[in-house]
Structure 1
């Protein structure tokens, strides 16, 4: 096998792994071949190789593949090694104790928020925000607060892709969305009230790395009947927690 062929095989294997999602956790060879534009024999060969190393598992009854335990192990190592995960843990725990709602740390990947750390309260909201979960940035407080500090090209790229509507409160008008991000920058925090899911609200504040760039967000999420997203005391606690994590990551504001 030439170097170019090896590179192509590795790239296609990674494309296969990334194609598995929470919405489609299992796929057949024909599904993958059609989705990725590859030959069925190539996909079958790559899956067999990955299965031998535990990266995927084949269900003998359905003939469908799903991610294997090797991926889980790598994910655990990757998450545990992230400095922000380590540094945020006690701060998230304190925030949950003080506010009584679930707290997260997330980052922006593409046009989605990916949750890197999470501490649940005693009665958490039933919404998909587990570690590794991707949610649309424009309809979450974490996503909006990170986007507010990004360059104009990033924001416009998201708008051009389309602001999908999830509830009646989801911001879908481009001008309204730009205005919202401007307000977030001015206030230093973001709120989301039933924008992703009805009955759920969240508050987020920006977390900066040692260069001062906003790369993460800390947020608390709870049901609207239990958590008032306009509560100044809660907002200040979230902002204070974000500042503390930023400092632990090496950022000090002059």
Structure 2
């Protein structure tokens, strides 16, 4: 093999590309690598959190609908650190406030119960999807940051051509390789972020639908009990 080709191949390794890159391109690469690490940390933490929340909520709902005494269940399980438990607690709190007087406004109580539990569901979904904006930002911005590194690297290649007055591949290859490497890192950060954002958004939508079904079922239970109040 030609010794020149061996040297060029060595200088095109990822570590060598980073070390020989311009300081601007190095900054772009480091920023994208940090964004990629942050993205994967969020993905793993979010995946574990959603899995635990989904399983615990399913168990909580099954135990609730099997319970004979709602008040006793609320005392023992109503303080659980679960979205379903907090929606239940919000409904029970509003129920007690609305029915503590001598005269009960049935329609007003039903409306307040629906509004209160609906707000509780919205709050829980907002908290669950708190980190999704980071994934959306990385997924949309990282390719353009990598593109900036690409443009800068190509400009550096043209500068080398002008200064050395040589258009050979040996002169322009390092700058172009640095530029393409920056683009690759940008895609490496963006692609997992976009995929994870779409998957987690779908999972959160399912959790929201489940919470709404639970809230509607509990609202119907309280509404029937309200019809028996005098």
Normalised-by-shorter TM-score class: under 0.3
Greater percentage in helix? 2
Q: TM-score of the superposition, structure 1-length normalised?
A: 0.19
Greater percentage in strand? 1
